[in-house]
Chain A
């Protein structure tokens, strides 16, 4: 019988919880002087694909027979990501990674960050088969909130909690909060909260836990286990409130909390802005060291990108025309990517303003900017563009564009429109997968492993270990 203590230790990772084995591995690596963990990681995901032209610097062909590595300095970034231009020396653009195995068409669901196939059809949005890379990095040095997962559901501002991108392990999806005001409350307390409220709430949660424990005695087996989640959640919230009380008493919360919006934001640009503000505040206060922001929730939904366009999310991915804006769907998607890049840069500036270890907080941060849908809405995963910012303590070779070997293919955007063609990257089966990139990040961060979530025959898709060409 697994004891409750074992279970909590090994499976659950509530606020403040620690999973020991990776830490031990990491400490061992540090002793050997090989690794420096990033103090912070930020994953920015967006739907409908990272179109190749939106990631490829101007004038550099996508197609090439061998791997090319070009310094970013003299290159011009495409408009989608040119807000990152001042940070070129910290940037790494990757083209040609593969992700066919996670079926990214219409969004890969959990597969985008786990690199684990969730099956075809709708199953990939619900099957949580493995730990995701953001969680794997987050658990190396967890904050009060081990991971802050925020989301935006286009056209549905009322959506609150969803599960879509991240997981601590099989069956352990991480909730994503889509409503900024609720995320704010969790992190900084209600408006006008006094220190006493955190303590009072903690006492209440401890009291209520006794009722759950009493009920637990009347059950056995998996039914009893169901209540363990409930109990663990109560304990975690209680512990978090005590930690928040401590921060509040030092004035830390008030110093960094963003201004709380008067009313819950309704339009996508406002929601995104609020979520980025909250993320920045949570990182700068040290409430969390890991943020995942999922714009579009790792799948294709039908409502519009309200505030950007009245065209439905799906229609935009099919490059239909927005008659009001007189823009094509792809132009709208580029506009949204640029908006996300701008918000990311604002977050980076806030981190850069705070000194840390002889540098700034930004120096100790890794940002991963990519789509949950590879290179376009109906992607077959044969190219998955990434932008990374941050060098993981000097381990990552940044300031470069790395293009793995690729051919290109011009295909119709929509099955029924033949006039417009889109140039897609087609990586050969010998190119590394997104799992290899995630494995590389873990390696550089002090948690090396042979593969990241590649099992069975998929294991042979990549060589074991990190992508050496990306590391010093």
Chain B
């Protein structure tokens, strides 16, 4: 039976007779899997076979099947993003919607399909109030998964092997490409043919170095030398020992019995058909190409259902959550002694790593970089005429300097570890001239040391002009400096963030508003419909605010009301991040509004960016949304309703510690979603 309005009537008439309905649709696979009643109730009226709206017709039945995967994905996205049912139609309850989403996702997973809603840009889809409702849920866990190592982690992993075997540094086959949301979700990355080719090259370089530069010259691991020497006449114990040695050196563990047998067989076979050196090289390559060398493998042992991560896997998960390195000695020892099975010990290890200043934890800064998005400033090109038009003294534009200053600011706030988010949003200080290039930094120091009357480098002069700082070299220091009073407030008014959210020629109020809507208010903005010609009119004599009148058309405003009023207050700055009071000879209008935030206490007009920021920084909801983002980054996935208690606890830990990032991270890394894995089918 195809869907039809007739079918909808049947449903209404037969509400008390589900058997009859099932009989009417033999392909329906039962209420535990299908979403037939939901679609009939909320979707069929517009998307039946007769003149379907948007030319979209529902699949023939309510059972999610592999044959209509694209259609089911589309339904999932529309429901997930809250785009459907439309506002003027009857709405499902949060629970109904969540259940329908769960069933469609389960059906798609059964068909081997991931859902776009698992992508980093869709994290806010879960209802915020439901997440923080305080309802308990048993058995939160992350699906069993593999998580490709980051490019840095990959390079460091192979550097450790190269230190033992030779071959030097290798370059990762992949780079993390910027995505909306976070860059490194477990589900996003895969290893394809081009990656594998490069990985094979890297592995070959390292294995070849060991064989030709060490083993051939009588150095390197004795177990491997013995096999090279014996060749085809190597004994079984010698072959076994060589395999064990390769595993230990690369993966830091002994092979399982099955692996031992397979790898020994492979080595033995190669020793018969190849010269000893290439035969040994092949076994080294096989271990270097093992999945554990490129993935964090996080699966319940033996394909079990819900289980804690194995200690060795957990040690890797903790290490890679905070650093770009594998587990250090202390973590490995704790894992091998079995102590990591206690949640307290996990907490102690996380606290140790967080508390030790000698251990670099680049992932924490990375979280803030990806969250705020300011490093993208370096990609925003401004041409010479634009620099000139902005009134900068010199034709030179290097936004990297602002990014560097923001990095330093975040690190400084993290060192204090008090009210971290609020500080970052409201601080009136910035670091200045923490230039990451040697010769410029040398020049800054030289100007300061020589008590020069003023800085001489054109780039430095431009930076100070944008900061509105009349800084003499003698007053420069590596400490944060106060910004002009009333002109700046936190990262959202820092030139790095403003430039990152600008275009080549002007501000990007929409992108700024979208950032606030998504990253601070936890709102959802659908992707630009493909039919929309997203262009503002080309009117050189009109301000951006004036040209944005086109977004107020009814069709556009539905989405733009969620962004534009949040982004327009930043018109207080030009697209280089300079504070301004006039634009095109007219006073700047920096008014805006918070609309439909989900928290009535937040909503209302704002007079300028500082009013807006102050209000956001004081909001508990904003704090909770920040915690949600931290969850996503450190867990590598979007939150689900089952993760609610873990989020509530993480937020509690953050608040009760006075806004400590360390407390927040520790809470996340000792939560059930971090510690437990579950097979998809069990969810």
Which residues of chain B come closer than 8 Å to A233, judged between CB atoms?
191-193, 195-196
Of the stretches B340-348, B526-534, B616-624, the one at the interface is B526-534
- Cβ of B99 < 8 Å from any Cβ of A? no
Which residues of chain A come closer than 8 Å to B196, judged between CB atoms?
230, 233-234, 237
- Cβ of A457 < 8 Å from any Cβ of B? yes
- Known contacts A1-B110, A186-B197; A417/B174 CB under 8 A: no
Q: Are B679 and A161 in contact (CB under 8 A)?
A: no
- Cβ of A200 < 8 Å from any Cβ of B? yes
A301 to B12 CA separation, bound complex (whole angstroms): 59
Q: Are A227 and B146 in contact (CB under 8 A)?
A: yes
A207 to B267 CA separation, bound complex (whole angstroms): 11
Which residues of chain A come closer than 8 Å to B291, judged between CB atoms?
211-212, 215, 230
Which residues of chain A come closer than 8 Å to B505, judged between CB atoms?
415
Interface residue ranges of A1-42 to B (CB < 8 Å): 1-2, 7, 14-15
Which residues of chain B come closer than 8 Å to A100, judged between CB atoms?
533
Q: Are B112 and A208 in contact (CB under 8 A)?
A: no
Interface residue ranges of B53-68 to A (CB < 8 Å): 54-55, 66
- Cβ of B415 < 8 Å from any Cβ of A? no
Which residues of chain B come closer than 8 Å to A229, judged between CB atoms?
190-192
- Cβ of B303 < 8 Å from any Cβ of A? yes
Which residues of chain B come closer than 8 Å to A228, judged between CB atoms?
112
Give chain A nearest CB distance to B121 CB in angstroms.
9
- Known contacts A222-B112, A415-B505; A15/B193 CB under 8 A: yes
- Cβ of A217 < 8 Å from any Cβ of B? yes
**Among the listed B178, B511, B530, which residue makes an inter-chain contact with A117, where contact means beta carbons less than 8 Å apart?**
B530
Q: Are A161 and B177 in contact (CB under 8 A)?
A: no
- Cβ of A123 < 8 Å from any Cβ of B? yes
Which residues of chain B come closer than 8 Å to A207, judged between CB atoms?
262, 266, 286
- Known contacts A2-B66, A120-B528; A220/B193 CB under 8 A: no
Of the stretches B38-46, B329-337, B379-387, the one at the interface is B379-387
- Cβ of A360 < 8 Å from any Cβ of B? no
Which residues of chain A come closer than 8 Å to B286, judged between CB atoms?
204, 207-208
Dominant SS among interface residues on chain A = helix
Of the stretches A45-53, A312-320, A349-357, A365-373, the one at the interface is A312-320
**Among the listed A175, A217, A226, A457, which residue makes an inter-chain contact with B303, where contact means beta carbons less than 8 Å apart?**
A217
- Cβ of A465 < 8 Å from any Cβ of B? no
Residue from the set A1, A117, A221, A237 with the largest chain B CB neighbour count within 10 Å: A221
Interface residue ranges of A113-166 to B (CB < 8 Å): 116-117, 119-123, 126, 158, 160-161, 163
A327 to B7 CA separation, bound complex (whole angstroms): 71
Q: Are A204 and B680 in contact (CB under 8 A)?
A: no
- Known contacts A126-B177, A221-B110, A234-B196; A456/B385 CB under 8 A: no
Which residues of chain B come closer than 8 Å to A2, judged between CB atoms?
66, 111-112
Q: Are A456 and B179 in contact (CB under 8 A)?
A: no
- Cβ of B299 < 8 Å from any Cβ of A? yes
Give chain B nearest CB distance to A244 CB in angstroms.
13
Which residues of chain B come closer than 8 Å to A163, judged between CB atoms?
177
- Cβ of A414 < 8 Å from any Cβ of B? yes
Which residues of chain B come closer than 8 Å to A121, judged between CB atoms?
511, 528
Q: Are B299 and A200 in contact (CB under 8 A)?
A: no
Q: Are A220 and B109 in contact (CB under 8 A)?
A: yes
Residue from the set B177, B274, B300, B385 with the largest chain A CB neighbour count within 10 Å: B385
Q: Are B193 and A225 in contact (CB under 8 A)?
A: no
- Known contacts A7-B112, A161-B173; A222/B187 CB under 8 A: yes
- Cβ of B201 < 8 Å from any Cβ of A? yes
- Cβ of B282 < 8 Å from any Cβ of A? yes
Interface residue ranges of A86-121 to B (CB < 8 Å): 100-101, 103, 116-117, 119-121
Give chain B nearest CB distance to A320 CB in angstroms.
6
**Among the listed B66, B300, B381, which residue makes an inter-chain contact with A312, where contact means beta carbons less than 8 Å apart?**
B381
Q: Are A225 and B112 in contact (CB under 8 A)?
A: yes
- Cβ of B155 < 8 Å from any Cβ of A? no
A292 to B318 CA separation, bound complex (whole angstroms): 42
Q: Are B193 and A314 in contact (CB under 8 A)?
A: no
Q: How many residues on A have C-beta within 8 angstroms of the other chain's C-beta atoms?
A: 70
One digit per residue, 1 when the CB lies within 8 angstroms of any chain A CB and 0 when it does not, for chain B 644-683 equals: 0000000000000000000000000000000000011100
- Known contacts A318-B383, A380-B535; A218/B191 CB under 8 A: no
- Cβ of A185 < 8 Å from any Cβ of B? yes
- Cβ of B114 < 8 Å from any Cβ of A? yes
Which residues of chain B come closer than 8 Å to A222, judged between CB atoms?
108-109, 112-115, 118, 187, 680
CB-nearest residue of chain B to A158: B171
Which residues of chain A come closer than 8 Å to B528, judged between CB atoms?
119-121, 123
Which residues of chain A come closer than 8 Å to B144, judged between CB atoms?
218-220, 223
Q: Are A223 and B680 in contact (CB under 8 A)?
A: yes
Which residues of chain B come closer than 8 Å to A116, judged between CB atoms?
530
A121 to B195 CA separation, bound complex (whole angstroms): 27
A2 to B110 CA separation, bound complex (whole angstroms): 9
- Cβ of B326 < 8 Å from any Cβ of A? no
Interface residue ranges of A228-267 to B (CB < 8 Å): 228-230, 232-234, 236-237
Which residues of chain A come closer than 8 Å to B388, judged between CB atoms?
416
Which residues of chain B come closer than 8 Å to A236, judged between CB atoms?
193
Q: Are B385 and A417 in contact (CB under 8 A)?
A: yes
Q: Are B145 and A219 in contact (CB under 8 A)?
A: yes
- Known contacts A220-B109, A380-B535, A456-B530; A226/B385 CB under 8 A: no
- Cβ of B600 < 8 Å from any Cβ of A? no
Which residues of chain A come closer than 8 Å to B114, judged between CB atoms?
221-222, 225
Give chain B nearest CB distance to A221 CB in angstroms.
3
- Known contacts A1-B111, A204-B282; A230/B381 CB under 8 A: no
- Cβ of B89 < 8 Å from any Cβ of A? no
Interface residue ranges of A160-182 to B (CB < 8 Å): 160-161, 163, 175, 177, 182
Q: Are B194 and A219 in contact (CB under 8 A)?
A: no
A5 to B665 CA separation, bound complex (whole angstroms): 43
Which residues of chain B come closer than 8 Å to A119, judged between CB atoms?
527-528, 530
Q: Are B527 and A204 in contact (CB under 8 A)?
A: no
Q: Are B177 and A221 in contact (CB under 8 A)?
A: no
Chain B interfacial positions (CB closer than 8 Å to A): 54-55, 66, 108-115, 118, 143-146, 171, 173-174, 177-180, 186-187, 190-198, 200-201, 259, 262, 266, 274, 278, 282, 285-286, 289-291, 297, 299-300, 302-303, 379, 381, 383-386, 388-389, 504-505, 511, 527-528, 530-531, 533-535, 540, 679-681
7 contacts between A and B (CB under 8 A): A2-B111, A7-B112, A161-B173, A182-B197, A223-B187, A226-B187, A456-B54
Given A218-B299, A415-B386, 16 new contacts (CB under 8 A): A2-B111, A120-B528, A163-B177, A175-B193, A200-B274, A208-B290, A212-B291, A219-B680, A220-B143, A221-B112, A222-B115, A222-B187, A223-B146, A223-B187, A314-B381, A314-B383
| 6 closest residue pairs by CB, A with B | A416-B385, A222-B114, A221-B109, A175-B194, A221-B680, A218-B299
